[in-house]
Structure 1
Amino acid sequence: MIVQVSTASYVTTVVVGVVVTLVVGQLLRRVGYDFLIEVYDDRTVATSLNHLLVTLFHLIALGSLCLVSTTNPRGLDGIQLIVTRTGIVLLVLGGVYGLTVLALTRARSRLRDDALEDGMTARRGWRGP
């Protein structure tokens, strides 16, 4: 049995996905900048990297949204299809967001470890052999 998928389900999936992607992207922009400004003392570098990071997030999220909006899992129709597609989009967005925050956390931890090591080395240098 072939199920006809309406244009409305495509449009609804894309609109909901784009809105959620933009909201999550704005959250990432704010959180990412806070992490990056702590890692890099230079505001220009932190801002530039944050723009690159948010752009990458949007490209991955919107690309996956385009792919998901054309799928029809198990021949679903109507609202079930829209909810299933939206769920897939949310799972992908959550995964991409989680990986991005994990990468930022690791960068911050690495910087803190390096600063601690440098502080210990500096103290040893002041005390002599």
Structure 2
Amino acid sequence: MSKLPVELFLALRYLRPKRTFVSVITLIIGVMLGVAGLLLVISVMSGFDRQMRDKVLGFNAHLRVELQREQMSDYRRVMSVVTSNKNVQRAAPYVLGQVLALVKVKWWMSSVGASPVDE
């Protein structure tokens, strides 16, 4: 072994140009495959993100009008104001409340909502 420090020996060993044509081609093909795989994963995840966002937005309303402490007595007037906007495609009332149920001798409480069926 030479009298060089280990760090310098390793640096010189791996920095010397002793690559053959086959190893250069292999290196280029490896980088190409890595980049292609990364592009594939990014495009699949982007499509998955878009599909997931569409599903979530399709499940929940984009706008919900609620009163904080009282019931809305004139919901039809509110719906007419909302639907008068040209960008609104549909509007529908819904019911959200709490229920207390007895199931097989055990009490449990849950929030229950009822939405109108799509026409």
Which structure features the higher share of helix residues?
1
TM-score by length of 1: 0.35
Which structure features the higher share of strand residues?
2
TM-score by length of 2: 0.38
Structure number with bigger Rg = 2
| Bigger RCO of structures 1 and 2 (CA < 8 A, at least 6 apart) | 1
